[in-house]
Structure 1
Amino acid sequence: MTGFIGAGNMANAIIKGMMSSGAAEGKDIAVYDIHPEKREKAAADYGVNAVSSLEELVSGCSEIVVAIKPYGFEKLLGGLDAQLKYHDPLIISIAAGKTIDTISSYLSYEPALVRVMPNINATIGASMSAYCANGRVSAEQKAFVAKLCSSIGEAVELDEKFFSAFGVIGGAAPAFAYMFIDELARGGVKIGMNKQVALKVAAQTVLGSAKMIAESGEHPYALVDKVCSPGGTTIEGVAALNENGFANAVMQAVTATYEKDLKLSGK
């Protein structure tokens, strides 16, 4: 059985993904949340087992997804140390900024531990997630994690030293993409389109463009060249983006986010 500590948005997204993909059934999942109404809602929505204590969850689960805020980790794991050591489940953390070494330091033993970083698009099954594991994680357990991550979108196994970089490109970049889509739509409004129509057009255009890059194997700028005709309209827009610092603004956003992540994680 797979247990979830915490029944917030990300936990619910993963549960929904696991069930929708056939990776698990409701009877195979247990959920605990400090707020009874949250675990009961998960039980009602997905048919999972709502448990009333952490001890019950730990004793009955071979994998435990810890889906709580980072500041609560030390107290939670420290309080469960003896039980976790005895049952020795695979621990899966989705907490931002908590490294494998940091999480391990909260326990008196070395657990089988995986760190997963999903993004907000997990709520619609379209996350780009990264994961890394310590040396105690077996091949079978790693395969389980890969399957779990794939149930909410795409996944890649990364060396943990790249997690701060992934946190920008995979974690924060959805906000940048949302901003770009909204500004496209606002541009549409400026030239006479209805906002909702413009937003639909912009979102689908960006979605299709991302799919083209992912599936065609072509370099993005080769695709830009295909859209731009000599002396045409598109090249005027591309030139305007360049003249107004589009590339530099994106690069600065990536760098600023990365530097803030390093600062918060004490690196």
Structure 2
Amino acid sequence: MKKIGFIGVGNMGSAIIRGLAVRDDIEIHGTDLNTEMIATLEEECGLKGQPDAKALAEACDFIVLAVKPQHAESVMGGIAPVLTGDKCLVSICAGLTVETLKGWSGKAPVIRIMPNTPAMVGEGVFAICLDDADLTEDMKAFIPDAFDGLGLVKIMAEKQFDAFTAVIGSGPAYVFYFMEALMEAGVNLGLTRQESTEMVEALFSGSAKLAKESDYHVSQLREMVSSPAGTTIRALLHMDRMATRGNIVDAVTESYERSIELGKK
């Protein structure tokens, strides 16, 4: 049985813990200043609480660093002495490169993971970097398999992580931004806020399901709704005049460039 420990059980850490808890081949440990959340996860998921990060690192095979990036270096300073080569450090901290983490981890190999927030409902997208040459085949097999039950897993080179961050890591915010705009449009046109909210939520979940399950490309699915001289094509042409598509691409590029900047700090 593999022992995997979480340093930090905030929103993302606890979401991953809950997803892994369904497996009977994993023993989950955790530590956090929020002792109430530890107690909750102990009751809900069978989590084994640890008094501190060093005790957790000593007890576990895989140590998941799930703290805010600005706190990571100090946490690593406390656990590096017990990170032997047979343990694996798994980081979900945004912006911290494998090279940086390796410098802090001592002898332990490093796996870097970039999640997105739909992981909180079991529908996440995870980029997993297995670039570290010190990783064993067992380590490289276990982590992708463990996270597979939490959503879509993609093995990616670290050089692709800034693009992943810009499109997928930040992506939920773009989706919620557009959802919010449609909800406000509905209210402006006379729908109640509850009606507009419920219907827009259903619109997005249904459209995403259609895009995923259909054999048609999203461009073809868009064309199916765009009848000649109809309401939809008129709205889409307005978006084209406003360069909406180009502005979205530019916005994602801004996110990409910011991700690169953060990685250099």
Mind listing any 5+ residue stretches in structure 2 that lack a counterpart?
none
2:87 aligned with 1:89: yes
Q: CA deviation at 1:148?
A: 2.8
| 1-structure distance, mates of 2:77, 2:92 | 18
CA contact (8 A) 1:23 1:147 kept: no
Give the fraction of aligned pairs with identical amino acids, expressed as a percent.
Answer: 31
Partner of 2:23: 23
Partner of 2:123: 126
Which among 1, 4, 10 is matched to residue 2 of structure 1? 4
Match runs of 1:1-267 below 5 Å = 1-19=3-21, 22-24=22-24, 28-85=27-84, 88-109=86-107, 111-133=108-130, 134-266=132-264
- Which shifted more, 141-150 or 187-196? 141-150
Q: CA deviation at 1:24?
A: 4.3
C-alpha RMSD of matched pairs (Å): 1.9
Q: CA deviation at 1:217?
A: 4.1
| 1-structure distance, mates of 2:52, 2:228 | 67
| 2-structure distance, mates of 1:218, 1:9 | 35
Q: Deviations over 1:55-97 (max 9, x none)?
A: 33222211111111112222222222221127x3121100000
How many residue pairs get aligned? The number is 262
CA contact (8 A) 1:130 1:166 kept: yes
| 2-structure distance, mates of 1:79, 1:52 | 13
Summarize the Cα distance change of 1:56–1:107 in structure 2 as closer, same or farther, 3 Å threshold: closer
Which amino acid in structure 2 is aligned with residue 68 of structure 1?
Answer: V
CA contact (8 A) 1:14 1:148 kept: no
| 2-structure distance, mates of 1:67, 1:167 | 17
Q: Deviations over 1:7-35 (max 9, x none)?
A: 1111100011112xx3347x811111134
- Which shifted more, 112-121 or 52-61? 52-61
CA contact (8 A) 1:73 1:103 kept: no
Q: Return the TM-score normalized by structure 2.
A: 0.92
| 1-structure distance, mates of 2:24, 2:95 | 28
- Which shifted more, 2-11 or 36-45? 36-45
| 1-structure distance, mates of 2:112, 2:215 | 29
Q: Deviations over 1:208-259 (max 9, x none)?
A: 2222222324322111111111122211111122122211221121011111
Summarize the Cα distance change of 1:161–1:11 in structure 2 as closer, same or farther, 3 Å threshold: same
| 2-structure distance, mates of 1:257, 1:217 | 31
| 1-structure distance, mates of 2:175, 2:223 | 21
Q: CA deviation at 1:105?
A: 0.8
Q: Return the TM-score normalized by structure 1.
A: 0.91
| 2-structure distance, mates of 1:261, 1:140 | 30
Mind listing any 5+ residue stretches in structure 1 that lack a counterpart?
none
CA contact (8 A) 2:20 2:149 kept: yes
- Which shifted more, 131-140 or 90-99? 131-140
CA contact (8 A) 2:127 2:156 kept: yes
CA contact (8 A) 2:54 2:78 kept: no
